[in-house]
Amino acid sequence: MSYKKYLRFTRQRIRHWHWLSDTPAMLCWAVIMGVLGAYAILIFYEGIYLVQRLVTGQYGGITQVTRSLSWEMRLLFPTVGGLCAGILLWLAGRKKGSTSADYMEAVVIGDGRMSVRQGVLRILSSLFTVASGGAIGREGAMIHFSSLAASLFGRFIYVRPERLRLLVACGAAAGVAAAYGAPLAGAIFVAEIVLGSMSIQTLGPLLIASATANMTMRMSGHYYPPYEMLDLAAVQSWEILNFVLLGLLIGLIAPGFLKLMAFTKQMFVRSGLPLIARLATGGFMLGLLLIMIPDVAGNGYSVVSSLLHEAWTWHAIFAILCAKILATTLSVGSGAIGGLFTPALFVGAAFGTLFGIAVHAVLPDHAVATHMYTLVGMGAFLGAATSAPLMAIVMLVEMTLSYTLMVPLIVASVAAYFLSRTLATVAMYDITLTRERDQSLRQALRTTRLSELVRPNDTVLNANATVGDVLTMFLDYPVRYIYVVDDENHYLGVIAQPDVLNLLVNHNDASDQPITEVLQFGYVKTLTPDMSLDEAQEHFMGFNGERLPVVSSIDNPRLLGVVYKSALLEKYSALKRSFDASSEVLVRLK
């Protein structure tokens, strides 16, 4: 039996093994996702080194490689890299299938099936951008790569769609864990940002995948804590207030950083240049900057490490910060595939260091070291930018292996998060805003009260009226029911049109009779203004009419007006349109 036939035969056999989607099996698959995720990261790193060797004859840290190049190569390398990245990204967008092009889309609104063609091309596009010095995070392509591997594995064993989505999420968690040496943060990243749930049913497999990815990196000799700081001194008493202030300042800055990235994207799009030309232009402009300041190449890891272990002057930090933000806006704005995760860490580190220098200038005897502010600034900025402060806190602790950071990280990250969300509704990942919008809409659906829909009612008669008055009102108004109230406007019941007609047919002199002869006391259910839309809908479901009366309360049924079924449906339709518009945002996730 040939390999292909055996593979086809095996897939046909396991297709009917439904236990492969059960929880115990999912925990086993999570282990495999961890291994696949770790090796996906290693393959991506090797791809970066391969491109660097082919172009420059050397490989290593992107900043070091850029420093060693002549000014001509500093300009040419990112320009050609942007051109290649643009061609690959253009090819990826030429044909869109039914499968998802983004792992977040596949997990949140898709069935877990990811496009192999688009995925590979997007990963290669990011690879060329990163390898040529693009000032953008690597995590976007790395996580996509590990998620794609998870999706392919899940499709091979025919797991159910909801389980396939979980496998893709496990792949993403494994990618974060392997890339940053942060297994717990990897699981929380996917749970907090992508899934929006901390349920143990989903968090459990994510943790298994992240831990396995971390173990795989350790066993292969590629694990290292990115910013190991084991000698940090604990923050004492009032000194914690400085970190609260740092968090508030970062809460002011983070929204501006994200808005700047979005603005630059819009400017490149409005330029009218095609996608390939935009990425090549972005690479060329970045190359011009690298000729003067090669340290802004890449994701900024080497500069952050230098800030933690070397003394910098404030003007040097400010200069490199401005240059780095400019480099990042050029890479991100041109449309390059990548992430803002690592650049956010860089910006936070620079602001934290500047804040620490300022504190020591004002308080020369201040005991907290400047690099403590650097690390806390990283976590606070990351938490505010991603709208995931818990993930940011855990990640910084794991990347530094220092529990001493926990308390200042908590106060700074929480302060930065709440202030940034108060000032502006922006986030690094669109899915965060979309989920919050959905929650707001659901809350509106649950809390919208009928008081907004109450309309005046003209078909009301006093209990002293006669059947002739009722007949006249039925002739004037095309309604099925007339409401009856007492002298104090308390609702008594309704008069149905068929009852009046039957009375007139059987009694010729019925016109002068009181309406109590045809008054129905419990025939029509009443609504109250404090009812929700759902409660009102239940009343309408068992009622054939177009409107229902609204009374002030059950105990004091003073008639306020009516609610029309059409108004209720219109309100539901408006909310549904908002939900649909919110869901469409997810399809455009990058």
How far apart, in Å, do the first and last CA atoms of the chain sit? 43
pLDDT confidence of residue 416:
95
What integer pLDDT is reported at residue 286 of this predicted model?
A: 94
Select from 428, 462, 492 the last residue of a domain: 428
Is the model's pLDDT at 100 over the cut of 90?
Answer: no
How far apart CA 119 and CA 88 sit, in angstroms, is 11
The token duo for 420 is 């940034």
Residue 587 lies in a domain: no
**What pLDDT was estimated at residue 589?**
35
pLDDT attached to residue 98? 63
Assess whether 209 and 296 both reside in one domain: no
| Rounded Cα–Cα distance for residues 347 and 295 (Å) | 14
Q: Look at residue 35 and tell me if it is in a domain.
A: yes
* 436, part of any domain: no
pLDDT in tens, 478-495: 888 888 888 888 888 888
Residue 408 in domain: yes
pLDDT at residue 20 in the model:
59
Residue 123's CATH number: 1.10.3080.10
Is residue 303's pLDDT more than 60? yes
In terms of Cα–Cα distance, which of 391, 316, 322 is closest to 135? 322
Indicate the range of 138-142, 173-177, 407-411, 569-573 predicted with least confidence.
569-573
Q: What CATH number is associated with residue 494?
A: 3.10.580.10
d(CA 372, CA 234): 10
The C-alpha angle 126, 43, 100, rounded to 5 degrees, equals 50
Q: What are the tens digits of pLDDT across the range 186-239?
A: 999 888 888 877 778 888 899 999 999 999 999 998 888 888 888 888 887 788
What is the pLDDT, as a whole number, of residue 499? 78
Q: Which residues contact 387 (CB under 8 A, 6 or more apart)?
A: 193, 417, 421, 427, 428, 429, 432, 433
Q: Parallel, antiparallel, or unpaired for β 481-485 and 460-462?
A: parallel
Query: In total, how many domains does the chain have?
Result: 3
Could you tell me if 280 and 194 lie in one domain? no
Q: How many CB atoms lie within 10 A of CB 262?
A: 12
pLDDT one-digit tens code per residue, 233-247: 888 778 899 999 999
Please indicate, yes or no, if residue 535 is contained in any of the structural domains: yes
Distance CA 137, CA 301 (A): 10
In a domain, 251, yes or no: yes
Find the mean pLDDT for residues 83-92. Answer: 92
Sheet of 481-485: strands edge to edge? 460-462, 481-485, 491-496, 519-520
Task: Kindly report the average pLDDT of the chain as a whole number.
Answer: 84
> Do 102 and 155 belong together in one domain?
yes
The whole-number pLDDT of residue 579 equals: 54
Give the tokens for residue 1: 């039996």
Q: Are residues 69 and 213 in the same domain?
A: yes
Q: Would the pTM count as exceeding 0.85?
A: no
Note the pLDDT of residue 170: 92
The reply to whether 364 and 409 lie within a common domain is: yes
Within this chain, do residues 480 and 390 fall inside the same structural domain, yes or no?
no
| pLDDT exceeds cutoff 90 at 508 | no
Tell me the average pLDDT across 417-434: 76
Q: Please indicate, yes or no, whether residues 406 and 375 belong to a single structural domain of this protein.
A: yes
Nearest CA-CA partner of 245 in 369, 354, 347, 398:
354
Is 396 inside a domain boundary? yes
| Predicted local confidence at residue 355, as pLDDT | 96
Residues 81, 27 share a domain: yes
Residue 192 belongs to some domain of the structure: yes
CA distance 398 to 182: 5
The helix (H) or strand (E) run that includes residue 72 is: helix 71-94
Same domain membership, residue 379 and residue 267: yes
Q: What is the pLDDT of residues 49-82, one digit of tens each?
A: 999 999 888 877 888 888 888 999 999 999 999 9
Buried b / exposed e along 384-412 (16+ C-beta atoms within 10 A): bbbbbbbbbbbbbbbbbebebbeebbbbb
CA dihedral (545, 546, 550, 554) in degrees, to 10, reads 20
Half-sphere exposure of 118 (CA within 13 A, CB side): 15
Q: Residues 374-415: pLDDT tens digits? A: 999 999 999 999 888 999 999 999 999 988 999 999 999 999
pLDDT single digits (tens) 314-328: 999 999 999 999 999
170 with 261, same domain: the answer is no
* Residue 17 pLDDT exceeds 60: no
* 477 plus 550 within the same structural domain: yes
The answer to whether residues 205 and 312 belong to one domain is no
| Mean pLDDT to the nearest integer, 17-46 | 83
Q: What band does 348 get if pLDDT is binned at 50, 70 and 90? A: very high
**pLDDT value for 215:** 95
Where in the sequence is the domain holding 73, given as residue range(s)? Answer: 3-219
Of all residues in the chain, the percent with pLDDT exceeding 90 is 36
Residue 582 scores a pLDDT above 50: no
* CA-CA-CA-CA torsion sign (418, 421, 424, 428): positive
Beta-strand relationship, 481-485 and 519-520: unpaired
Among 219, 247, 279, the domain-final residue is 219
Please choose, from the candidates 75, 88, 86, 45, the residue with its C-alpha nearest in 3D space to the C-alpha of residue 301.
45
